[in-house]
Amino acid sequence: MTLSPASQIVNVMNNLENVNEKNKSIQRWQYVHWKAILAEFLSTFLLICLGCMSCIPLDGFQVQPPLYSAFGFGLIVLFNISAFGHLSGAHMNPSVTLTAVIYGKMSITLGLGYVVAQCLGAIVGYGVLVAVSPVDLVPGAVCTTQPHINHSLYQSVIVEIILSAALGFINCAVWDPMNERKNEANALKFGFTIAALSIAGGPLTGASMNPARSLGPSLWTNNWNAHWIYWVGPLVGGGLAGVFYRFTWLSKPGSES
């Protein structure tokens, strides 16, 4: 059946309206979320640039003090959550973002935006550190995450899964509606958590818990030794924490009565 000219004009107008609605929807999404994605880029940039600063060998020390970088990263996380937590949640970590998506805290689309920003922030952050460091970071692969020499790869993966699951659990606990009014000390909670997990796991795997944190230094130093561990371990650990918490402990509406 041939459509009349009037019907064709109506169809064209409807199609234009649909396109305009899609464009407006995309613009709304960009307007709402670009600030959060930018905050993720900047917070991850600072995490790697300042955190890895604490891994630069100190003058007069043949061996870096064992707690120096652990507390360095912990305090940088504390600062970043204080500065950016209200803007994006200050994930700084694809593992944490995966936990948030599984938990139902954010959409998959926004989660992908976070991950891209985090990886770019880590790469730029370490690149800036390479430019300003008084020590050449590349030959010694400073701040790259490496498994313990006596560890098998699968032992290292398990360590990263455990550390990342622990981090995922505290994220889920903070996001739990039962704790929504107990957020005054969140920066302290996460800062000390990162320091504690780094002290525990640092000698074994470098305690990455964060694919972006491992990606930046590895890319600039071209050191990819066992790099897959620092993607598989954190993502599996973060994913397991999100699934377990959501379906085991997360209160359902009306379940308290």
Task: State how far the Cα of 80 lies from the Cα of 56, in Å rounded to an integer.
Answer: 20
Owner of token pair 């300042």: 50
HSE-CB at 148 with a 13 A cutoff on CA atoms is 17
**Helix, coil or strand: residue 176:** coil
Instruction: Tally the domains of the chain.
Output: 1
Residue 254 lies in a domain: no
**Residue 257 domain flag:** no
Geometric angle at alpha carbon 68, from 230 and 127, rounded to 5°: 55
Residues 44 and 122: beta-carbon distance below 8 Å: yes
Residue 226 zone, left/alpha/beta (φ > 0; ψ -120 to 50; rest)? left
| pLDDT for residue 121 is more than 70 | yes
Domain containing 93 — which CATH number? 1.20.1080.10
Q: Is the Cβ–Cβ distance between 230 and 145 less than 8 Å?
A: yes
Has residue 191 been placed in a domain?
A: yes
Contact (CB, 8 A) for 211 and 238: no
* Nearest by Cα to 55 from 160, 150, 151, 126: 126
Mean pLDDT over the full length of the chain: 89
* Residue 254: per-residue pLDDT: 46
Token pair, residue 187, equals 């920066």
Residue 7: its pLDDT value, please? 61
Name which of 45, 152, 75 is nearest 67 in CA terms. Answer: 75
Structural domain containing residue 18: 8-248
The arithmetic mean of pLDDT across residues 152-156, rounded, is 94
150 burial class (0-12, 13-18, 19+ CB within 10 angstroms)?
exposed
CB proximity list for 126: less than 8 A, separation 6 or greater: 48, 49, 52, 143, 216, 217, 219, 220
The model carries a pTM of 0.86
Q: Is residue 222 part of a domain?
A: yes
Look at 235 and 59; give whichever has higher pLDDT: 235
Residue 201's pLDDT is 95
pLDDT at 162 over 90: yes
Q: Any idea of the CA torsion for 70, 238, 81, 146, to the nearest 10 degrees?
A: 30
C-alpha distance from residue 44 to each of 78, 131, 186, 204 (Å) = 13, 18, 18, 23
Give whole-number Cα distances, 144 to 20, 106, 147, 150, in Å: 47, 30, 10, 18
Residue 1 lies in a domain: no
Please give the Cα distance from 56 to 170 (Å, whole number): 29
Average pLDDT of the segment spanning 245-252: 85
> In which region does residue 51 sit, left (phi positive, over 0), alpha (psi from -120 to 50) or beta (all else)?
alpha
Lowest mean pLDDT among 14-23, 43-52, 82-91, 131-140: 14-23
Asked whether residue 255 is assigned to any structural domain, the reply reads no
